[in-house]
């Protein structure tokens, strides 16, 4: 679905990404683990259409990615994309309306309950803890059942229960056919993967060989 073809990105004369090529297929989970400063966030933003590559192409179903195509993406950035002056309910309801979700109420209620935020639904997000904001950001990214999930440190700030919930939610999305690109700098992550990657001097390289998930694991929720 989403493909990078020989993508490079530089800031001024400083190269960050060097001829990156990768293709995300439905139901696959890709995990990129690399140190801070390696370019992994830049790569995710290029994938999401938030940064233009210096050269190369970002393709959606075989053609250049457009702003309209971005509605098929669910994105979590390092800084959660939530509105602090709105409540948790208002944040998700606004996002649901923007994506044409109907009816809004049951979808938002279910998302808040699954994220463990039902009791804080009417609290302004500026009063949320970091972990609560991260839960809301993950719930927002999943709300419209995107074809592709692009997740930058989605477990950051979450306690063990929050990490377990987020891992289950992402795995369930993949089981339903979403492609997942997950970025982390941590040595451990709670998700199985179809492919693991690292970035070295701007090049996207396979990490240590891993056994692809079995069809049974793909169906596990």
What integer is the mean pLDDT of 188-202? 88
Cα 202 to Cα 49, 210, 221, distances in angstroms: 18, 22, 34
- Cβ count near 148 (within 10 Å): 22
Q: From edge to edge, which strands make up the β-sheet containing 148-152?
A: 73-76, 148-152, 179-184, 29-33, 195-200, 203-206
Nearest to 140 by CA among 96, 86, 194: 96
Given this model, what pLDDT does residue 31 score?
96
Given this model, what pLDDT does residue 185 score?
80
What integer is the mean pLDDT of 216-221? 50
* Residue 37 reports pLDDT greater than 60: yes
Considering the chain, what is the average pLDDT of its residues? 92
Given this model, what pLDDT does residue 210 score?
41
pLDDT in tens, 98-141: 999 999 999 999 999 999 999 999 999 999 999 999 999 999 99
Give one DSSP letter per residue of 89-137, joined into a string.
Answer: HHHHHHHHHHTT-SSHHHHHHHHHHHTT-GGGTTSBGGGS-HHHHHHHH
* Residue 142 reports pLDDT greater than 60: yes
CATH 3.40.50.300 corresponds to the domain 2-219? yes
- Cβ count near 57 (within 10 Å): 14
What is the spatial distance between Cα 24 and Cα 1, in angstroms, rounded to a whole number?
6
Q: What is the 3-state secondary structure (H, E, C) of 51-71?
A: CCCCEEEEEECCEECCCHHHH
3-state secondary structure of 21: strand
Helix H or strand E encompassing 162: helix 160-175
What integer is the mean pLDDT of 197-205? 94
3-state secondary structure of 190: coil
Task: Give residue 216's pLDDT band: very low, low, confident or very high (50, 70, 90).
Answer: low
Tokens of 47: 């994938």
Whether the CB-CB separation of 9 and 51 falls below 8 Å is answered with yes
What integer is the mean pLDDT of 10-27? 95
């Amino acid at each position: 679905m989403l493909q990078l073809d020989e993508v490079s990105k530089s800031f001024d004369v400083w190269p960050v990404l060097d001829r990156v090529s990768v293709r995300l297929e439905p139901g696959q989970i890709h995990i990129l683990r690399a140190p801070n400063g390696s370019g992994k966030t830049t790569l995710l933003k290029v994938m999401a259409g938030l940064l233009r590559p210096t050269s190369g192409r970002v393709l959606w179903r075989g053609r250049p990615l457009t702003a309209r195509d971005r509605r098929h993406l669910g994105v979590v950035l390092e800084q959660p994309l939530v509105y602090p002056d709105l409540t948790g309910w208002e944040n998700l309801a606004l996002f649901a309306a923007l994506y044409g979700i109907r009816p809004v109420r049951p979808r938002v209620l279910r998302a808040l309950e699954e994220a463990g935020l039902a009791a804080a639904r009417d609290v302004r997000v500026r009063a949320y803890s970091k972990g609560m904001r991260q839960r809301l950001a993950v719930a927002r990214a999943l709300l419209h059942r995107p074809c592709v999930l692009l997740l930058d440190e989605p477990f950051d700030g979450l306690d063990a229960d929050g990490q377990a919930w987020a891992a289950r939610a992402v795995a369930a999305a993949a089981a339903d056919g979403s492609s997942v690109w997950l970025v982390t700098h941590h040595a451990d992550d709670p998700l199985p993967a179809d492919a693991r990657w690292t970035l070295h001097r701007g090049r996207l390289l396979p990490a240590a060989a891993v056994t692809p998930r079995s069809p049974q694991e793909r169906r596990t929720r």
